[in-house]
Amino acid sequence: MPKDKVFTQKIHKKFEFDEAVASVFDDMLSRSVPFYDEVRKLIISLILAEQKEGLKVLDLGASTAKFLLDLHAKMRVPMQLKGVDNSQAMLDRAAQKCQAFGANIELEFADMLTYVYQDEDIIVANYTLQFIRPIQRLELMKKIFQGLKEEGMFIFSEKVIFENKVLDKQMIDIYYDYKKEQGYSEYEIAQKREALENVLIPFTIKENIQMCKDAGFTKIETVFQWANFVTFVAKK
């Protein structure tokens, strides 16, 4: 797996999911998102509990298709797996990996804000909504809700902020220490923070739950949390 060295040099633009990021994205995820592998496995287990032939699973912001490939390897009956992303660089790598593993996974270049959601059983968005402008996020959530079948499920993971500003600062510091333990330098951490400013905009847990309710979901739970990283399950 290529090592993430994107932020070892001075960055002169905001964060983008371009070729430089796509080439090291799997490593970036595993080292930047605490318990990312465990969360992925947890979500896959939730999907496998619902698995049946033809079950439609849509991954928003599928990136290099790591999640869908892991799900494909675990499923016992053929399901309809699809990933959408608005980064061609990510999808190119996803396509290469799917071909290498002989995985029947549909990939589509699309903007999740304008994508037509239709009769989906399960929609997944891991650390994706946080990159959608807050003013557009509720409309997207409404589209997701409307595009799910009855009893459909939306599983999403997000970086969050805390209402208590002292606790929020402590959690940020704890997260930075985590990144240092993963081998990132203080310079890399500072560079990435600057690149992500006004690009990644997190909500509080309450705001995420309220957004789900405002979209129409009535059953919303958190199933995982480590500091400021949370996984939600919303059922229609």
Model confidence pLDDT, tens digit, residues 136-182: 999 999 999 999 999 999 999 999 999 999 999 999 899 888 888 87
Q: What are the pLDDT digits (tens) for 184-199?
A: 656 555 655 655 555 6
Of 25, 27, 158, which Cα lies nearest the Cα of 90? 25
Show Cβ contacts of residue 86 under 8 Å, excluding neighbours closer than 6 positions: 17, 109, 110, 111, 112
Residue 13 has pLDDT above 50, yes or no: no
What is the reported pTM? 0.86
Q: In the chain, what are the domains? A: 12-235 (3.40.50.150)
Q: What is the Cα–Cα distance from 227 to 188, expressed in whole angstroms? A: 21
Least confident span in 111-115, 130-134, 139-143, 212-216: 130-134
